Chains A and B, each alone.
Chain A
């Protein structure tokens, strides 16, 4: 199989310059990604079901391709209709002047515009939420302060729907922070207008008991740029589904992610980038560290370059750093290319053990082992943070990482 199951030192990498139009699955070999793509074409899953109605999705059994890594019994009923909303999740939005906030029904044209739910929990959330929250940045408005959304669980169960909309040429940074204890199913939509620039930092810093499953779908407009930073540290089970679709040519998406799975945590990120429009770019880089018994990280990176998407340039990378025995990583990059007229396409996935030579080098300079370990893991994440290109965001993230490592790598 393509996934890296509990093995370290495994690497897949590849790049494709040109494929043949209409030739079907073109694979980014060499490596273990190959067999997976061949046996499980991306679009077989993509086209499977997409619907606003939960009834269109059977209750998963765990044998389905998109559920096979997820421990269903820990979803607290989000997947089978038994989790009932009780309102125990508080959402607060604070936004600078010029930004509008509304609460709307599901009939509002902006709700569901980025795309339909693609799995049962997202559809459940869509079917069950009461009111959607819409935060809009008017066209040509450039915010100097971030919009902050705090999602705080008070031990309850909730279904949410959040839309963030940027008008043409608007620029904004949005920080969404998830804290506390909750069972949450949600959809988040990003509507990025033509020429607009949206950066979203979504931090999952839940208490150890929380369960969070969400679909994040971005619709990227003409020459628009969407930058997403997903940081998942806390929670018993977090399953996120970041998706990008392009509304017009010239769009650019950068998806960065960091996760740290501690003993018993299941952290799953399933990305999908649908290149269905010419001359768009995407770049994905997710890095995770794991430690402790039953820590489990799942990373799925599906990129589909459709026949009409000539001029596409895409690259995706996932790296995992395994700190102790007992951790498990499933990392599956999938790249499917239906046109040869592209600029570039590649992927890399690697899972490695903590490098004892680095530890030795630092210790040989007097740095105690636990501090040396923290430095190395911090460095592993910092390498990715350095790429984000927004100093304020980077600094805050490094503080977050330091706090997390202080707590977990003592």
Chain B
């Protein structure tokens, strides 16, 4: 049973005038099969949390712990975290010129699974996953994220989610930049993975509209670098009606 435990996590970034603390004591436990929505205003530190869990070198952990089934995630390199089952669908996926999607996917699947997938079943697997996300098969031969529209990039992230089958999926604003149709298609992809019951999901979002497709078990309000309120799905409805105003006053511009 996969459990991600975040305890009193403090993270800073190197700013012009020295280190700046962004995360100020985050506590969160995500168990296999659960879906947690993290919602908060712009700049509250949601992406910082997501990137820190994945191990991005820009973020320095200054305090706290992160464990996956008791294993110290913070001690692992970026690729070790991924192989341990942590997956981050990025808010802004990176272009990798000259590397084709098909080569990239196969290399990643080989690394995660510990052996190269059998070519014939692999090709079929990729084809089906792409079809389910209504991606043109031609994308397989294009370079990773190069010239992809915002929505295409997000589909490509979810394609990887489906193929790499992580234990903990962190989805950073996967809904942003998607029109209604794309939002539905991408959400269905996320739900297919969730329905397997194997994955714990951390859904980072600014807006509530994706929660119409993906029902969270828990909703957490994120402000000024920490979780300031937690509740069930009904908390999202409250945010929908009232916005984040109640949470940001007094601290947003520190």
Tell me whether A383 and B98 are in contact (CB under 8 A): yes
Determine if A364 and B82 form an interchain contact, defined as CB atoms under 8 angstroms apart. yes
A371 vs B104: C-alpha distance when bound (angstroms): 11
Contact B83 A361 (CB under 8 A): no
Q: Are B78 and A363 in contact (CB under 8 A)?
A: yes
- Bitwise, A354-372 to B at CB < 8 A (1) or not (0) is 0011101111111111011
Cβ of B183 within 8 Å of any chain A Cβ, yes or no, is: no
For B98-140 the 0/1 string (1 means CB < 8 A from A) is: 1100011001100110000000000000000000000000000
User: Does B79 lie at the interface of the complex (its beta carbon under 8 Å from any beta carbon of A)?
Assistant: yes
Q: Is A375 an interface residue (CB 8 A)?
A: yes
Nearest CB in chain A: distance from B159 CB, A: 12
> Are A362 and B96 in contact, with the CB atoms below 8 A?
yes
Which stretch of B14-22, B87-95, B174-182, B223-231 is in the interface? B87-95
Given contacts A371-B107, A375-B107, A379-B143, contact A364 B78 (CB under 8 A): yes
A residues 340-389 near B (Cβ < 8 Å) are 356-358, 360-369, 371-372, 375-376, 378-383, 386
Please report the C-alpha to C-alpha distance between residue A237 and residue B104 in the assembled complex, in whole angstroms: 35
Known: A360-B56, A375-B107, A379-B143. A368 touches B96 (CB 8 A): no
Q: Does B77 count as interface, using CB distance less than 8 angstroms?
A: yes
Contact B90 A361 (CB under 8 A): yes
Q: B160 interface residue, CB < 8 Å from A?
A: yes
- Of all chain B residues, the one with the shortest Cβ separation from A370 is B79
User: How many contacts A-B (CB < 8 Å)?
Assistant: 82
Main secondary structure of the interface of A (DSSP, over half): helix
In the complex, B57 has a CB within 8 A of chain A: yes
Q: Which residues of A contact B103 (CB under 8 A)?
A: 375
Q: How far is the CA of A356 from the CA of B77 in the complex (A)?
A: 14
**B97 — which chain A residues lie within 8 A by C-beta?**
379-380, 383
Q: Does B164 contact A (CB under 8 A)?
A: yes
Q: Verify B99–A367 contact, CB threshold 8 A.
A: no
Are A369's CB and B79's CB within 8 A?
A: yes
A312 to B96, CA, bound (A): 34
Tally of contact residues, B, Cβ under 8 A:
30
Band of interface residues on A? 20 to 34
- Chain B residues with Cβ under 8 A from A362's Cβ? 96, 104, 107-108
- Per a CB cutoff under 8 Å, which of A365, A379, A381, A382 touches B160? A365
Q: How far, in angstroms, from A40 to B56 measured CA to CA in the complex?
A: 46
Question: Bound complex: CA of A371 vs CA of B111, how far in Å?
Answer: 10
The answer on a CB contact under 8 Å between B96 and A375 is yes
Whether A381 contacts B79 by the Cβ 8 Å rule is no
| Chain A residues within an 8 Å CB radius of B96 | 358, 361-362, 375-376, 379
CA distance A369 to B57 in the complex (A): 13
B54 within 8 A of A: yes
Give the shortest distance, in Å, between A5 (CB) and chain B (any CB). 25
Contacts of B88 in A (CB 8 A): 364
- List residues 178-216 of chain B with CB under 8 A from any CB of chain A: none
Query: A356-B57, A367-B108, A367-B111 given. 18 additional CB < 8 A pairs?
Result: A360-B57, A360-B78, A361-B94, A362-B104, A362-B107, A364-B82, A365-B108, A365-B112, A365-B160, A366-B79, A369-B78, A372-B79, A375-B107, A376-B99, A379-B96, A380-B97, A383-B98, A386-B98
Interface residues of B (CB under 8 A from A): 54-57, 77-79, 81-83, 87-88, 90, 93-99, 103-104, 107-108, 111-112, 143-144, 160, 164
19 A-B pairs with CB atoms under 8 Å apart are A361-B96, A364-B54, A365-B82, A365-B104, A365-B112, A365-B160, A365-B164, A366-B82, A367-B82, A367-B107, A367-B108, A368-B111, A375-B96, A376-B96, A378-B98, A380-B97, A382-B98, A383-B143, A386-B98
